Amino acid sequence: MTNPSASISLRIPTFDDVRIAQTRISGAAHRTPVLTSRTADGIAKATLFFKAENMQRAGAFKFRGAYNAIAALDASSRQNGVVAYSSGNHAQALAYAAKLQGVSAVIVMPWDAPDIKVAATKGYGAEVIFYDRYTDDREEISRRLAAGRGAALIPPYDHPDVIAGQGTAALELIEEVGEIDMLVVPLGGGGLLAGSALSAAALSPGCAIVGVEPEAGNDGQQSLRKGEIVHIPVPKSIADGAIVTHIGVRNFAILKDTVDQIVTVTDAQLVDAMRFFAERMKIIVEPTGCLAAAAVMHGAIACAGKRVGILLSGGNVDLKTFNMLLGSG
């Protein structure tokens, strides 16, 4: 199977693009806080710095890349709007970023996307078109829509301006806490990890970079080991933001040269991390947003004695699902 993106002339972003993105999104994206917890430090036997992108506009880091990608379009490209495909966070982020910049948006979403994410996407003014993630090709649907409407296609991760925008979260983290020994980042399609790797390599040389996937969908781990992009069937996990079948081409071009390892965590470990954040740190983090933290706090990564940056990628989980996962006790 071939990734359609491979046929596109690739522009691989650099750290210079991340710096440009930082300027573009300044004043639009929140500079989210970096949180600490002595209890979490004790569990991991390390000094942990949590970059709280669950507190970002539209509830996730995705706002950074979406806003940057739209801001980078020229006037003629904006006239016919933008099209994207997403299970939720990129959908909300692009819809909101488009609204703020006066651009129309069409989002292709799976019919089983969380209700809270669908409602937010529509609430920001985007048109939503549903598909079946297990039988339909969302990329093909989106390309057809974009071509038919003359709109700009902004995919959720395999896009240079999206990757650069996502890299600003790690940039801010390192600017705030100084050099770190390790950076741990959730991995779905690879936009956040690729952008983070660009920032970490430039600002904290020698920093180990680790990606974390749901155990049921370890295509990134397989790809890194094999040295080429591996495609898998649609995985099933509560980490809905990381349910992808392959890493993006541009993303992998960066990851294969910068990432030290990719590890996985179980859904049960994600729930444990969600509970920890709710009970001990008083914040709501969605399952996908807990990937990196769960890996560190459950020992999937050897990080004792290190200064570790952890990206909490989002907080978009509806209360019904949140309560169901955590239970009444």
Write out the DSSP string of 239-256. -GGG--SS--HHHHHHHH
- 264 sits in the region (left: phi over 0; alpha: psi -120 to 50; else beta) called beta
Cα–Cα dist 65/78, whole Å: 16
Check if the beta carbon of residue 31 is closer than 8 Å to that of residue 274.
no
For 274, the enclosing helix (H) or strand (E) is helix 267-280
- E-strand spans in 266-316? 307-312
Please tell me the number of Cα atoms within 13 Å of 286 on its side-chain side.
Answer: 27
Tokens matching residue 13: 């972003």
Q: What is the dihedral of CA 41, 44, 46, 50, to 10 degrees?
A: -60
Tell me which DSSP letter residue 54 carries: G
- Other CB atoms within 10 Å distance of the CB of residue 191: 30
Tokens matching residue 248: 């993006």
Cα–Cα dist 187/300, whole Å: 15
Cα–Cα dist 203/269, whole Å: 31
> Which residues are the active-site residues?
62, 87, 213, 217, 219, 313
What's the burial of 264, exposed, middle or buried (CB within 10 Å: 0-12/13-18/19+)?
Answer: buried
Alpha-carbon distance values, 195 to 133, 137, 183, 186, 320 (Å): 26, 26, 12, 12, 32
For 139, the 3-state DSSP assignment is: helix
